[in-house]
Homo-oligomer: A and B are copies of this chain.
Amino acid sequence: MTDGSPSPDTTRERIIAAAEQLFRDIGFQKTTVADIARTLSMSPANVYRFFASKKDINEAVAERMTGRKRNRIEAVAKEPGTARERMRRLLTEMHVMMAEFADADAKIQEMVAVAIAESWSVIHNHIRDLDTIIANVVREGIAEGEFSDVDPEVAGPCVRAAMTRFCHPSVLVMCRDIPQPTLDEQIDFILAALGAGRQGAPRRAGETARAS
Protein backbone atom coordinates (compact mmCIF):
# COMPACT_ATOMS: atom_id res chain seq x y z
CA MET A 1 0.00 0.00 0.00
CA THR A 2 1.70 3.19 -1.13
CA ASP A 3 -1.33 5.48 -1.37
CA GLY A 4 -1.48 6.07 2.37
CA SER A 5 -4.84 4.35 2.88
CA PRO A 6 -4.91 1.63 5.53
CA SER A 7 -4.54 -1.93 4.30
CA PRO A 8 -7.63 -4.16 4.52
CA ASP A 9 -5.89 -6.15 7.29
CA THR A 10 -5.32 -3.00 9.31
CA THR A 11 -8.95 -1.93 8.92
CA ARG A 12 -10.09 -5.37 9.96
CA GLU A 13 -7.90 -5.19 13.06
CA ARG A 14 -9.19 -1.71 13.91
CA ILE A 15 -12.79 -2.94 13.71
CA ILE A 16 -12.01 -5.87 16.04
CA ALA A 17 -10.20 -3.60 18.51
CA ALA A 18 -13.04 -1.05 18.49
CA ALA A 19 -15.61 -3.81 18.99
CA GLU A 20 -13.71 -5.28 21.94
CA GLN A 21 -13.44 -1.84 23.54
CA LEU A 22 -17.16 -1.20 23.12
CA PHE A 23 -18.03 -4.65 24.51
CA ARG A 24 -15.94 -3.76 27.56
CA ASP A 25 -17.32 -0.23 27.91
CA ILE A 26 -21.02 -0.49 27.20
CA GLY A 27 -21.54 -4.25 27.13
CA PHE A 28 -21.84 -6.84 24.43
CA GLN A 29 -25.60 -6.85 23.97
CA LYS A 30 -25.83 -3.06 23.74
CA THR A 31 -23.09 -2.70 21.14
CA THR A 32 -24.37 -2.46 17.55
CA VAL A 33 -22.46 -2.56 14.29
CA ALA A 34 -23.46 1.11 13.91
CA ASP A 35 -21.71 1.88 17.25
CA ILE A 36 -18.56 0.16 16.06
CA ALA A 37 -18.65 2.03 12.75
CA ARG A 38 -19.22 5.38 14.49
CA THR A 39 -16.22 4.86 16.78
CA LEU A 40 -14.06 4.42 13.68
CA SER A 41 -15.72 7.24 11.73
CA MET A 42 -16.77 4.83 9.03
CA SER A 43 -20.10 3.67 7.66
CA PRO A 44 -21.76 0.45 8.85
CA ALA A 45 -21.59 -0.63 5.19
CA ASN A 46 -17.80 -0.44 5.39
CA VAL A 47 -17.80 -2.64 8.52
CA TYR A 48 -19.91 -5.15 6.61
CA ARG A 49 -17.23 -5.23 3.87
CA PHE A 50 -15.04 -6.98 6.44
CA PHE A 51 -17.55 -8.95 8.53
CA ALA A 52 -20.74 -10.59 7.31
CA SER A 53 -22.48 -10.17 10.67
CA LYS A 54 -22.06 -9.06 14.24
CA LYS A 55 -21.56 -12.73 15.07
CA ASP A 56 -18.43 -12.73 12.88
CA ILE A 57 -17.15 -9.68 14.74
CA ASN A 58 -17.78 -11.45 18.06
CA GLU A 59 -15.86 -14.45 16.88
CA ALA A 60 -12.92 -12.27 15.84
CA VAL A 61 -12.99 -10.54 19.23
CA ALA A 62 -13.05 -13.93 20.96
CA GLU A 63 -10.05 -15.01 18.86
CA ARG A 64 -8.19 -11.85 19.76
CA MET A 65 -8.84 -12.33 23.46
CA THR A 66 -7.95 -16.02 23.57
CA GLY A 67 -4.90 -15.27 21.40
CA ARG A 68 -3.61 -12.83 24.02
CA LYS A 69 -4.11 -15.40 26.76
CA ARG A 70 -2.36 -18.09 24.71
CA ASN A 71 0.60 -15.80 23.99
CA ARG A 72 0.94 -14.92 27.65
CA ILE A 73 0.92 -18.61 28.69
CA GLU A 74 3.27 -19.55 25.87
CA ALA A 75 5.74 -16.82 26.83
CA VAL A 76 5.79 -18.08 30.43
CA ALA A 77 6.28 -21.66 29.22
CA LYS A 78 9.33 -20.56 27.21
CA GLU A 79 11.10 -18.61 29.93
CA PRO A 80 14.41 -20.10 31.05
CA GLY A 81 14.32 -22.83 33.68
CA THR A 82 13.83 -26.53 34.17
CA ALA A 83 10.68 -28.17 32.81
CA ARG A 84 9.48 -28.50 36.40
CA GLU A 85 9.94 -24.77 37.01
CA ARG A 86 8.32 -23.83 33.73
CA MET A 87 5.36 -26.14 34.34
CA ARG A 88 4.82 -24.58 37.76
CA ARG A 89 5.00 -21.06 36.32
CA LEU A 90 2.70 -21.76 33.40
CA LEU A 91 0.06 -23.43 35.62
CA THR A 92 0.31 -20.57 38.11
CA GLU A 93 -0.09 -18.08 35.26
CA MET A 94 -3.15 -19.98 33.97
CA HIS A 95 -4.66 -19.76 37.44
CA VAL A 96 -3.85 -16.05 37.87
CA MET A 97 -5.25 -15.24 34.45
CA MET A 98 -8.51 -17.09 35.06
CA ALA A 99 -8.86 -15.71 38.59
CA GLU A 100 -8.51 -12.20 37.14
CA PHE A 101 -11.26 -13.06 34.71
CA ALA A 102 -13.47 -14.54 37.45
CA ASP A 103 -13.12 -11.22 39.32
CA ALA A 104 -13.72 -9.12 36.20
CA ASP A 105 -16.82 -7.00 35.88
CA ALA A 106 -20.14 -8.21 34.52
CA LYS A 107 -19.55 -6.74 31.04
CA ILE A 108 -16.44 -8.88 30.49
CA GLN A 109 -18.21 -11.95 31.86
CA GLU A 110 -21.12 -11.33 29.48
CA MET A 111 -18.73 -11.02 26.54
CA VAL A 112 -17.08 -14.33 27.32
CA ALA A 113 -20.40 -16.08 27.98
CA VAL A 114 -21.47 -15.03 24.49
CA ALA A 115 -18.12 -16.12 23.07
CA ILE A 116 -18.60 -19.54 24.62
CA ALA A 117 -22.17 -19.80 23.35
CA GLU A 118 -21.64 -18.36 19.87
CA SER A 119 -17.99 -18.97 18.99
CA TRP A 120 -17.62 -22.44 20.25
CA SER A 121 -14.82 -23.34 17.84
CA VAL A 122 -12.70 -20.44 19.14
CA ILE A 123 -12.96 -21.68 22.73
CA HIS A 124 -12.39 -25.25 21.58
CA ASN A 125 -9.24 -24.25 19.69
CA HIS A 126 -8.04 -22.19 22.65
CA ILE A 127 -8.30 -25.21 24.94
CA ARG A 128 -6.45 -27.34 22.40
CA ASP A 129 -3.73 -24.65 22.26
CA LEU A 130 -3.34 -24.77 26.04
CA ASP A 131 -3.10 -28.57 25.93
CA THR A 132 -0.39 -28.27 23.27
CA ILE A 133 1.63 -25.75 25.32
CA ILE A 134 1.43 -28.03 28.37
CA ALA A 135 2.25 -31.12 26.27
CA ASN A 136 5.33 -29.36 24.85
CA VAL A 137 6.70 -28.66 28.33
CA VAL A 138 5.99 -32.30 29.25
CA ARG A 139 7.85 -33.42 26.12
CA GLU A 140 10.82 -31.20 26.93
CA GLY A 141 10.81 -32.47 30.52
CA ILE A 142 10.92 -36.06 29.29
CA ALA A 143 13.78 -35.22 26.90
CA GLU A 144 15.69 -33.60 29.77
CA GLY A 145 15.10 -36.66 31.97
CA GLU A 146 13.06 -34.61 34.43
CA PHE A 147 9.71 -36.29 33.81
CA SER A 148 8.94 -39.96 33.35
CA ASP A 149 8.12 -41.38 29.96
CA VAL A 150 4.42 -40.45 29.85
CA ASP A 151 2.48 -39.71 26.66
CA PRO A 152 2.58 -35.89 26.38
CA GLU A 153 -0.62 -35.88 24.33
CA VAL A 154 -2.50 -37.62 27.14
CA ALA A 155 -0.70 -35.79 29.94
CA GLY A 156 -1.54 -32.33 28.52
CA PRO A 157 -5.31 -32.68 28.91
CA CYS A 158 -4.88 -34.55 32.23
CA VAL A 159 -2.80 -31.67 33.64
CA ARG A 160 -5.40 -29.16 32.46
CA ALA A 161 -8.26 -31.24 33.90
CA ALA A 162 -6.37 -31.53 37.21
CA MET A 163 -6.24 -27.70 37.28
CA THR A 164 -10.01 -27.24 36.71
CA ARG A 165 -10.54 -26.24 40.35
CA PHE A 166 -8.02 -23.43 39.87
CA CYS A 167 -8.63 -22.42 36.26
CA HIS A 168 -12.33 -22.69 35.40
CA PRO A 169 -13.80 -19.23 36.05
CA SER A 170 -17.20 -20.56 37.20
CA VAL A 171 -15.60 -23.10 39.53
CA LEU A 172 -13.35 -20.40 40.98
CA VAL A 173 -16.47 -18.45 41.89
CA MET A 174 -18.77 -21.32 42.91
CA CYS A 175 -16.18 -23.16 45.00
CA ARG A 176 -14.56 -20.13 46.61
CA ASP A 177 -15.34 -21.38 50.13
CA ILE A 178 -14.99 -25.10 49.56
CA PRO A 179 -12.07 -26.86 51.29
CA GLN A 180 -9.30 -27.21 48.76
CA PRO A 181 -5.58 -27.84 48.44
CA THR A 182 -3.36 -24.80 47.93
CA LEU A 183 -2.32 -24.01 44.37
CA ASP A 184 1.24 -25.14 45.11
CA GLU A 185 0.04 -28.42 46.62
CA GLN A 186 -2.02 -29.10 43.49
CA ILE A 187 0.92 -28.26 41.20
CA ASP A 188 3.20 -30.52 43.30
CA PHE A 189 0.61 -33.28 42.88
CA ILE A 190 0.58 -32.74 39.11
CA LEU A 191 4.39 -32.71 38.93
CA ALA A 192 4.42 -36.00 40.87
CA ALA A 193 2.01 -37.46 38.27
CA LEU A 194 4.54 -36.47 35.61
CA GLY A 195 7.18 -38.36 37.59
CA ALA A 196 9.06 -35.19 38.51
CA GLY A 197 10.80 -36.84 41.46
CA ARG A 198 9.88 -36.91 45.10
CA GLN A 199 10.82 -33.31 45.84
CA GLY A 200 7.75 -32.33 43.82
CA ALA A 201 5.34 -34.76 45.44
CA PRO A 202 3.14 -33.82 48.37
CA ARG A 203 5.29 -34.20 51.45
CA ARG A 204 4.17 -36.39 54.28
CA ALA A 205 3.63 -34.06 57.23
CA GLY A 206 3.80 -36.86 59.76
CA GLU A 207 1.13 -38.67 61.75
CA THR A 208 0.48 -35.66 63.97
CA ALA A 209 -0.80 -33.69 60.99
CA ARG A 210 -3.68 -36.10 60.44
CA ALA A 211 -7.13 -34.67 60.69
CA SER A 212 -9.11 -36.48 63.33
Picked from B135, B151, B194, B209, the residue with its CB within 8 Å of the CB of A153 is B209
Check A105 for interface membership: any CB of B closer than 8 A: no
Q: How many residues on A have C-beta within 8 angstroms of the other chain's C-beta atoms?
A: 52
Where the two chains meet, the residues of A that have a C-beta atom closer than 8 Å to any C-beta of B are 120, 123-124, 127-128, 131-132, 135, 148-155, 157-159, 161-162, 164-166, 168, 170-171, 174-175, 177-181, 185-186, 188-190, 192-195, 198, 201-205, 209-211
Q: Which 5 A-B pairs have the closest CB atoms?
A: A193-B193, A158-B189, A162-B162, A154-B202, A164-B164
- Neighbouring B residues of A120 by C-beta, 8 Å: 177
Chain B residue at minimal CB-CB distance from A167: B164
Q: Are B181 and A161 in contact (CB under 8 A)?
A: yes
Number of copies: 2
Q: Are A161 and B186 in contact (CB under 8 A)?
A: yes
Q: A131-B179, A148-B198 are in contact. List 11 more A-B contacts (CB 8 A).
A: A124-B179, A127-B178, A150-B201, A150-B204, A151-B204, A153-B211, A158-B189, A161-B166, A161-B180, A192-B194, A193-B193
- Neighbouring B residues of A159 by C-beta, 8 Å: 189
Known interface pairs A171-B164, A189-B162, A190-B193. Does A157 touch B128 (Cβ–Cβ under 8 Å)? Answer: no
Chain B residue at minimal CB-CB distance from A204: B151
- Neighbouring B residues of A186 by C-beta, 8 Å: 158, 161-162
- Neighbouring B residues of A151 by C-beta, 8 Å: 202-205, 209
Q: In the bound complex, how far is the Cα of B27 from the Cα of A110, in angstroms?
A: 30
- Neighbouring B residues of A155 by C-beta, 8 Å: 189, 202
Q: Are B181 and A150 in contact (CB under 8 A)?
A: no
Q: In the bound complex, how far is the Cα of B161 from the Cα of A175, in angstroms?
A: 11
Q: In the bound complex, how far is the Cα of B121 from the Cα of A179, in angstroms?
A: 11
A179 to chain B, nearest CB (A): 6
Q: Are B185 and A193 in contact (CB under 8 A)?
A: no
